[in-house]
Amino acid sequence: MFDRLKEDIRTVKDRDPAARNGLEIYFLYPGFKAIRMYRKANWCYRHKLFFLARAISQRAVRKTGIEIHPGATIGKRFFIDHGTGVVIGETTEIGDDVTVYQGVTLGGTGKDTGKRHPTIGNNVLIGSGAKVLGPFKVGNNVRIAAGAVVLKEIPDNCTAVGVPAKVVRRDGMKPAESTTLDQIHVTDPTALKIAELEEKIEKLTKILEEK
């Protein structure tokens, strides 16, 4: 238990440049607090103490603004930065070394039964406000840009952006890069396509005016 506690504190210190010391993290960081309370709720859930599990989970929501269903499966060194508005559904599975930012939803589409929520691989970064919806897999070493809406599977070693999200980079990134804090300097293929169409319209307009 103490080893896991120390690992959770070290994870925050490694990934948050604003973290000064373990005492501050333990008492003041909502993401850290939400994860600790999730582990208690998950223990209760696995031992069929469902009411107690939900009670702990809902107390965590009130204290942190982060909602993690006690039935979710979360691996080692999971980091929630800031965290307000984060929602993680019941059948979500999260691997090791995953980072999520505020406003992230790992949820369902409302149409599925059984496994309803995504499976997130190892070493994944999910940017602020991103939504991952449905019972599919997000591979290892993936980056999901801020504001993206992911509705289908993403292979390993990819960067996805946009609404709905599209893969814009694959196998061109070292795994370690997926923990960097840059969530915005990625190319949006939808924006590029709109820019191309605007350029074509402008050229066509000039041709018509000349005639």
Output the pTM of the full model: 0.80
Whole-number pLDDT of residue 181:
46
If you ran DSSP here, which 8-state letter would residue 154 be given? B
In terms of Cα–Cα distance, which of 6, 2, 70, 10 is closest to 34? 70
For residue 72, the 8-state DSSP code is -
User: Which pLDDT score, from 0 to 100, does residue 178 have?
Assistant: 45
Radius of gyration of the chain (CA): 20
According to the model, what pLDDT value does residue 147 have? 94
Which segment of 12-16, 154-158, 165-169, 193-197 scores lowest on mean pLDDT? 193-197
Residues in the chain: 211
pLDDT, position 76: 95
pLDDT of residue 207: 83
Dihedral of CA 66/112/99/47: which sign? positive
10 Å CB burial of residue 184 (0-12, 13-18, 19+) is exposed
Burial class of 92 by CB neighbour count within 10 A (0 to 12, 13 to 18, 19+): buried
Residues 6+ apart with CB under 8 A from 157: 139, 140, 141, 142, 170, 171, 172, 173, 175
Query: Is residue 196 very low, low, confident or very high in pLDDT (cuts 50, 70, 90)?
Result: confident
49: Cβ contacts below 8 Å, ≥ 6 apart: none
Q: Is the pLDDT of residue 173 over 60?
A: no
Which domains, and CATH codes, for the chain?
2-210 (2.160.10.10)
Q: How confident is the model at residue 189 (pLDDT cuts 50, 70, 90)?
A: low
What's 176's DSSP letter? G
Q: Which pair of tokens denotes residue 97? A: 């070394």
Cβ-based neighbour number of residue 16 at 10 Å = 18
